[in-house]
Amino acid sequence: MLIDKYSVVISEELATKIFHTTENIIGKTIEWNQKEISGKFVITGIFTPPPSNATVQFDLVFTFDLYRGKNPNLDKWTYNEPSTYLLLKRGVNIDRFNRKIVNFLQKKSNEDSHSLFLRRYSDKYLYGKYDNGVQSGGRIEYVRLFSIIALFILVIACINFMNLSTAKASKRIKEIGVKKAMGASRKWLIVQHLGESLLIAYLSLIVAVVLIVILLPQFNAITGKHLNFNYDTKVTLFFLGVTFFTGLMAGIYPALFLSHFNPAIVLKGKFNRSIGELWARKGLVIFQFTISIILIVLVFVVQKQIAFIQSKNLGFDRNNIICFKKEGKLEEGIKPFLSELENIPGIVNASIYHGDLIVNPTSTDGVNWEGKSLNDKVNFKYLWVGDNFIETIGIEVEKGQSFSKEYSINDSKIIFYETAIKSMGIQDPVGKTITLWGENKQIVGVVKDFNFESLYENLKPCFLLYSSTEDMDNIIVKIKTDTERETIERLRKSYQKFNIGLPFDFKFMDDDYQMLYESENRVAILSRYFAGIAIIISCLGLFGLTTFTVERRRKEIGIRKVFGSNKLDIISLLSIDFSKQLLVSISIALTISYLIAMHWLDSFAYRIELECWFFVAAGLMTLFIAWTTIGMQTIKATNTNPVQCLKDE
């Protein structure tokens, strides 16, 4: 459809926005004014836009030849800005193909030391992290994390079913004895109990599906996603399979346990629990509370790390700074617009820069300096900036001076980070000359380190290049505190005076920075919900176990009250066994949670230190919730009349 350089294909949404229809617009003309691409273009096709969860979103498709004609650097093998997509023939072995292209760039250019490899487009979103060309994670880590947590919560629910089924065995023991006496086999009883377990599991599935439909909009709002619940065959079979497995796992132990009793003994009322059964039940209680405590500790750690990231001093002031693209008529000349910004009340400073300030600034290893050895392999991040950039974002100049308008006719100046100067080993750097891409640059200043990138990464050597040319593509404005609304409105009017018809789209630098930790913020929110669900399910199980324990020891409680025991003594008696199990859970959970928290924090270059209160608070919180749950039943038991307790049913 892109038949020449001035053809364009647009999305249905854009067609509707411009022409209010998608009918009969082939052959119509639109005008597009951007830095690399501008002019009148003929619409030669319409496409359905990518789905909302696609990694790349776009509304127009131009021919690459148009972009290439205005960017001569694209003809250099060392230029790596565009993304390259390949459609391979069916049956091509990816590993074998990668071996063929590993040294492709070195053969084309002696200056390039990079190696090429392919990855599937479908892997781009979840498997986006690579170290030295080796896949090392990405968003898939969070998918795995929440899958594991969901599995543990399901296991906790299964444990509750096992515990409650075996705990109330005394209620069903005569029923089982009668059935066995009437000829029921153990195999038939196992099938019956497993059937009951599976029935409960599938009833739970129905409730779960209804809750998913109801809660999915709220879940999407929390996570910022646009998930839909589609009932296809694959999903249906998966849910049915998981439910069957859950019902089987939850019911297998109670089925085997309840079906093994001797009918002659149980019909006489002689039902003695084995030591193994009691220890198994205690072990299951310990396991489920261990998982709950681990989740609570991790919630504390994640919340503190996110708060640390958001409040850390990065070496520059990102508050009240807005950024927007240089578009439309501003491409023809930016200086008049910047001059007008200086006269708008509420604007402290304004400047321009090139590239992406927050995510993945451009890097190079083409810096040479006096005394550099062959072993000095330093990769530098760098930014092209204009007048007042350093002052606008509040970077502190350590030595020398900032860029000044007096350099506007001389682009041979450079400013380095402190870390960069240390990496190069240069003493008294101001005034000295380095070579960048074969050109001499004079060091006019050294600024204190500032960190634009994610705090997952260590601070890298960086330098700033001065340019007053029109190549800059971003405008940055510092706004006076408490004047944001009125100042932005004045700025909007000024922008639209220069760019008639174009919307004023801007973003706050602080919001842009927070987007680096979007996944972590979602983890923090979802982990709170998961921890809450795990605690609730565990306490429901504990509530049921306490109820049956109290019921089983009802006569003992009556006798103790008759002999003068007070309520506190009885509450302590009933609570002490569960408390021992909780203390074991706490000791196990704190060790495991410490190891998990350390592993997660190690992925950050800048991180909090683990504090004792994370673990103490989690343990005390769990004890308080559990004791409250136990206390509700034990207090009820102590208020019962001893006469009622001693009566036979």
pLDDT, tens digit, 9 for 90 and up, residues 185-237: 778 778 888 888 899 999 999 999 999 889 888 888 877 777 787 777 888 89
- Measured torsion, CA atoms of residues 558, 560, 565, 569, in degrees rounded to the nearest 10: -90
* pLDDT of 361 strictly over 70: no
Q: Express each pLDDT in 487-512 by its tens digit.
A: 988 898 888 888 877 788 888 877 77
Q: Is 548 left (phi over 0), alpha (psi -120 to 50) or beta?
A: alpha
Render pLDDT for 30-71 as a digit per residue (tens, 0 to 9). Answer: 988 776 677 899 999 999 988 776 778 899 999 988 888 777
Dig out the tokens for 261 from the structure: 């009793």
Query: Is there a contact between 475 and 350 (Cβ–Cβ < 8 Å)?
Result: yes
The pTM for the full model equals 0.68
Residue pLDDT, tens place only, 149-183: 888 888 888 887 877 776 666 566 667 677 767 77
What percent of the chain has pLDDT above 90?
Answer: 10
Cα torsion 119, 125, 130, 135: sign: negative
Q: Residue 8 pLDDT > 90, yes or no?
A: yes
Using CA atoms, how far apart are residues 230 and 228, in angstroms rounded to an integer?
6
**pLDDT score, position 520:** 72
Q: Kindly state the average pLDDT of the residues 306-326.
A: 77
Dist. CA 593–CA 591, nearest whole Å: 6
* Mean predicted lDDT score pLDDT of the chain: 80
Confirm if 601 and 610 have CB atoms less than 8 A apart.
yes
Mean pLDDT for 80-95 is 87
- Write out the E strands in 165-246: none
**Per-residue pLDDT reduced to its tens digit, 243-275:** 999 888 888 877 777 666 666 555 555 555 555
Residue 368 phi, psi (nearest 5): -125, 145
Apex 514 CA angle, 508 and 518, nearest 5: 135
